[in-house]
Amino acid sequence: MSPAFAVRLITVVLSVLLVASVTEWLLRFSARRTPPEPVRVLPAADLDPRGQLTDTAPIARLFGAGGSADASIRALGVMADEGNGRGIAVLAVSGQAPKAYRSGQSVAPGVVLKEVRRDRVVLARSGMLQELRIPARSAPAAPPAPITR
Protein backbone atom coordinates (compact mmCIF):
# COMPACT_ATOMS: atom_id res chain seq x y z
CA MET A 1 0.00 0.00 0.00
CA SER A 2 1.48 3.29 -1.06
CA PRO A 3 1.82 6.18 1.38
CA ALA A 4 -0.30 8.45 -0.84
CA PHE A 5 -3.18 5.94 -0.80
CA ALA A 6 -2.99 5.63 3.03
CA VAL A 7 -3.13 9.41 3.42
CA ARG A 8 -6.19 9.61 1.14
CA LEU A 9 -7.92 6.77 3.03
CA ILE A 10 -7.28 8.42 6.40
CA THR A 11 -8.53 11.75 4.98
CA VAL A 12 -11.79 10.15 3.75
CA VAL A 13 -12.39 8.36 7.07
CA LEU A 14 -11.75 11.55 9.09
CA SER A 15 -13.99 13.56 6.72
CA VAL A 16 -16.85 11.06 7.20
CA LEU A 17 -16.39 11.19 10.99
CA LEU A 18 -16.36 15.01 10.91
CA VAL A 19 -19.56 15.17 8.82
CA ALA A 20 -21.29 12.64 11.10
CA SER A 21 -20.29 14.54 14.23
CA VAL A 22 -21.38 17.92 12.83
CA THR A 23 -24.70 16.41 11.68
CA GLU A 24 -25.36 14.92 15.11
CA TRP A 25 -24.70 18.23 16.86
CA LEU A 26 -26.85 20.17 14.37
CA LEU A 27 -29.74 17.77 14.88
CA ARG A 28 -29.33 17.89 18.65
CA PHE A 29 -29.36 21.70 18.81
CA SER A 30 -32.10 22.17 16.22
CA ALA A 31 -34.55 19.83 18.00
CA ARG A 32 -35.02 22.34 20.85
CA ARG A 33 -36.37 19.70 23.15
CA THR A 34 -37.11 20.66 26.71
CA PRO A 35 -36.02 18.26 29.42
CA PRO A 36 -38.89 16.04 30.58
CA GLU A 37 -40.67 17.18 33.70
CA PRO A 38 -40.17 14.78 36.59
CA VAL A 39 -43.26 12.78 37.51
CA ARG A 40 -44.54 13.42 41.02
CA VAL A 41 -46.80 10.96 42.78
CA LEU A 42 -49.54 12.73 44.75
CA PRO A 43 -51.36 11.12 47.64
CA ALA A 44 -55.03 10.46 46.89
CA ALA A 45 -56.12 12.72 49.76
CA ASP A 46 -54.50 15.76 48.09
CA LEU A 47 -56.48 15.43 44.88
CA ASP A 48 -59.48 17.73 44.45
CA PRO A 49 -62.01 16.09 42.10
CA ARG A 50 -64.14 19.24 42.10
CA GLY A 51 -61.29 21.28 40.65
CA GLN A 52 -61.60 19.42 37.35
CA LEU A 53 -65.21 20.39 36.67
CA THR A 54 -65.96 22.91 33.96
CA ASP A 55 -69.35 24.55 33.56
CA THR A 56 -70.24 24.22 29.88
CA ALA A 57 -73.79 25.56 30.18
CA PRO A 58 -72.98 29.12 29.00
CA ILE A 59 -71.31 27.74 25.89
CA ALA A 60 -74.19 25.33 25.29
CA ARG A 61 -76.70 28.20 25.54
CA LEU A 62 -74.58 30.20 23.11
CA PHE A 63 -75.04 27.43 20.55
CA GLY A 64 -78.77 27.10 21.22
CA ALA A 65 -78.94 24.18 23.61
CA GLY A 66 -81.67 24.12 26.25
CA GLY A 67 -80.64 25.63 29.55
CA SER A 68 -80.53 23.93 32.90
CA ALA A 69 -83.77 25.70 33.84
CA ASP A 70 -85.53 22.99 31.80
CA ALA A 71 -84.38 20.28 34.24
CA SER A 72 -86.66 19.83 37.25
CA ILE A 73 -84.78 18.07 40.03
CA ARG A 74 -86.17 16.49 43.19
CA ALA A 75 -84.02 15.36 46.10
CA LEU A 76 -85.26 12.04 47.48
CA GLY A 77 -82.55 10.97 49.93
CA VAL A 78 -78.96 11.46 51.01
CA MET A 79 -76.02 9.69 52.61
CA ALA A 80 -73.89 12.60 53.82
CA ASP A 81 -70.52 13.07 55.45
CA GLU A 82 -71.59 16.10 57.46
CA GLY A 83 -68.11 17.44 58.10
CA ASN A 84 -67.08 18.29 54.54
CA GLY A 85 -70.18 18.28 52.31
CA ARG A 86 -69.25 15.08 50.51
CA GLY A 87 -71.67 12.26 50.08
CA ILE A 88 -74.23 10.65 47.82
CA ALA A 89 -77.67 12.02 46.95
CA VAL A 90 -80.57 10.24 45.29
CA LEU A 91 -82.08 12.66 42.78
CA ALA A 92 -84.91 12.42 40.28
CA VAL A 93 -84.14 14.55 37.20
CA SER A 94 -86.96 15.66 34.87
CA GLY A 95 -89.32 12.84 35.83
CA GLN A 96 -86.79 10.08 35.12
CA ALA A 97 -86.06 7.20 37.48
CA PRO A 98 -84.14 8.25 40.62
CA LYS A 99 -80.37 7.90 40.38
CA ALA A 100 -77.51 8.24 42.90
CA TYR A 101 -75.01 11.09 42.37
CA ARG A 102 -71.78 11.85 44.24
CA SER A 103 -70.86 15.39 45.27
CA GLY A 104 -69.02 17.09 42.43
CA GLN A 105 -70.77 15.01 39.76
CA SER A 106 -72.81 16.52 36.91
CA VAL A 107 -76.54 15.92 37.39
CA ALA A 108 -77.89 17.55 34.21
CA PRO A 109 -76.42 19.90 31.58
CA GLY A 110 -75.19 22.91 33.54
CA VAL A 111 -76.12 21.43 36.94
CA VAL A 112 -73.48 20.09 39.34
CA LEU A 113 -74.08 18.54 42.77
CA LYS A 114 -71.87 20.74 44.99
CA GLU A 115 -72.65 19.60 48.55
CA VAL A 116 -74.60 16.88 50.31
CA ARG A 117 -75.92 17.71 53.79
CA ARG A 118 -78.05 15.71 56.22
CA ASP A 119 -81.31 17.48 55.30
CA ARG A 120 -80.55 19.10 51.93
CA VAL A 121 -78.39 19.12 48.82
CA VAL A 122 -76.73 22.13 47.20
CA LEU A 123 -76.69 22.34 43.40
CA ALA A 124 -74.76 24.74 41.19
CA ARG A 125 -76.88 25.79 38.22
CA SER A 126 -74.76 27.80 35.80
CA GLY A 127 -72.76 29.29 38.66
CA MET A 128 -75.76 30.01 40.96
CA LEU A 129 -76.21 27.90 44.10
CA GLN A 130 -79.59 26.30 44.79
CA GLU A 131 -80.65 24.28 47.84
CA LEU A 132 -83.06 21.37 47.61
CA ARG A 133 -84.55 20.13 50.89
CA ILE A 134 -85.10 16.46 51.51
CA PRO A 135 -88.80 15.79 52.15
CA ALA A 136 -89.53 15.02 55.80
CA ARG A 137 -90.29 11.39 56.44
CA SER A 138 -93.59 10.56 58.01
CA ALA A 139 -93.47 8.43 61.12
CA PRO A 140 -93.82 4.72 60.36
CA ALA A 141 -97.26 3.37 60.99
CA ALA A 142 -97.70 1.57 64.30
CA PRO A 143 -98.31 -2.14 63.99
CA PRO A 144 -101.94 -3.11 64.46
CA ALA A 145 -102.94 -4.05 67.98
CA PRO A 146 -103.60 -7.73 68.52
CA ILE A 147 -107.24 -8.73 68.77
CA THR A 148 -108.15 -10.15 72.15
CA ARG A 149 -111.35 -12.03 73.01
Position 43 pLDDT exceeds 80: no
Q: According to the model, what pLDDT value does residue 79 have?
A: 87
d(CA 83, CA 76): 21
Average of per-residue pLDDT across 98-125: 89
Position 109 pLDDT exceeds 90: no
- Assess contact for 82 and 115: CB atoms under 8 A: no
- The residues that bridge with 89 in the sheet, in sequence order, are 78, 101
Position 47 pLDDT exceeds 70: no
Average of per-residue pLDDT across 133-145: 69
Average of per-residue pLDDT across 18-37: 83
d(CA 22, CA 15): 11
Query: What does the mean pLDDT of the chain come to?
Result: 80
Average of per-residue pLDDT across 99-126: 89
d(CA 91, CA 133): 11
* Range with lowest mean pLDDT among 6-10, 33-37, 72-76: 33-37
Sheet harboring 128-133: ordered strands across?
106-108, 111-116, 120-125, 128-133
Q: According to the model, what pLDDT value does residue 10 have?
A: 95
Q: According to the model, what pLDDT value does residue 9 have?
A: 94
Q: According to the model, what pLDDT value does residue 48 have?
A: 56
Q: According to the model, what pLDDT value does residue 40 have?
A: 73
